[in-house]
Amino acid sequence: MAGRMSRSLNLFSHGFLLVWTAMVVLPLLWAVLSSVKSDAEILSSPWSLPGVPHWENFGRAWSTGHIGDFFVNTVIVLAGGVLLTMLLGSMAAYVLARYRFPGNRIVYYVFVAGLTLPVFLALVPLYRIVGNLGQLPGIGPYLGLNSYLGLILVYVAYSLPFTVFFLHSFFRTLPNEVAEAALLDGASHGELFLRVMLPMARPGLLSIGIFNVIGQWNQYLLPLVLMQRQSGTDTDHSVLAQGLLNLAVSQGYKSDWSGLFAGMTLAMLPMLVVYVLFHRQVQAGLTAGTLK
C-alpha cells in the first residue's frame, strides 16, 4: 500500500513538473520563433517553423525600436544597483550575523520587515522623495526623477531586505574557528571580512547576486514611475521594461509584429543566458547554508 501511494505521488509530481515546464518553455519558444518570422507567417501560421529566418528583425527592433538605447540604460542601472546592493547587503548581513551589540536583532528585524512592504504602497512616497531630491542644488539633476543614480538608489533600497535576510543565514553557517585563527594571526576586522569571510561565502554571494540581477532587470513598476521624461528636457533614461511597452504600442500600430517579438527576445535572452551559465552555482548557494 505504501509503495503504491509512493508511486502515485511520484507520478503526480512528475506530471505536474512536466505541465509546469510546458507552460514556461512553450511561450518562450513561440516568442523566439516568431522573432525570426515575417509578419505574414506570424498571422497565418503562428505555430509553424519559419520558412526563411528573418534576422533583420533584430536589427530593426534594436535601431528603429530604440531597444539598443533602452538596453544600455538598463545595463548602467543594473551594474550600479547590483554592485551597491551586494556591497552594502554583504556588510550589513556579516555584521548582524557575526557580531553581538545592543539593537542587533532590532536592526535585523527592520530589514526583514522590508520584505513585507508591497512595492505598490511605496510608489507615491518614492515619487515624492525622488522628486524632492531632484530639487537639491548642484546634485539634484543626478538624483531626481529620470536619473540613473536616483533609480539605482531605489533599486538598492528595494533589494537590500532580501539580500540581508539571505546572507545573514549564510554568514552564520561559516565556521568560527577560521575567523578566530585569522584574528589571532593579526588580521583586522576589515581584513577578516574582505579576505576570509567573503571568499568563504562565495556560493551565497553568487546566488543572491543572480537573484538581484534577474529581479532588477525585470523590474517594471519602479522605472515606470521614476524614469518619466521631465518637461523641458530631451534626455530619456528609460530602461528596457519601458522600452518594451513603447515598442509594443508603436509596433502594434505599425503592424510590425516581427519587430515586436524580436525586441521581446532581445530582452529575454540575457537573463536566460545568465541562468543557464550559473544555475548550478545558484543551486549550490541555496543548499550550502542547510548542509553546513
Quick: pLDDT tens for 43-65.
888 888 888 888 988 888 888 76
With beta carbons less than 8 A apart as the criterion, state whether 238 and 227 touch: yes
Q: What is the mean pLDDT of residues 227-241?
A: 71
What distance in Å separates the CA atoms of residue 129 and residue 197, rounded to the nearest whole number? 36
Record the pTM.
0.85
Dihedral pair phi/psi, residue 86, rounded to 5°: -65, -40
All three cell numbers of 5:
501511494
Closest to 272 (Cα-Cα) out of 14, 23, 29: 29
DSSP track, 16-39: HHHHHHHHHHHHHHHHHHHHTS-H
Question: How much of the chain, in percent, has pLDDT values that exceed 70?
Answer: 90
All three cell numbers of 174:
561559516
With beta carbons less than 8 A apart as the criterion, state whether 210 and 282 touch: yes
Q: pLDDT confidence of 12, banded at 50, 70, 90?
A: confident
Provide CB contacts within 8 A for 28, sequence distance 6+.
268, 272
Q: What is the mean pLDDT of residues 229-237?
A: 63
Which domains, from first to last, does the chain contain? Answer: 59-291 (1.10.3720.10)
223-236 burial code (b ≥16 CB/10 A, e <16):
bebbbeeeeeeeeb
If one compares 276 and 147, the residue with the highest pLDDT of the two is 147
What distance in Å separates the CA atoms of residue 146 and residue 3, rounded to the nearest whole number? 61
Closest to 244 (Cα-Cα) out of 94, 42, 27, 74: 74
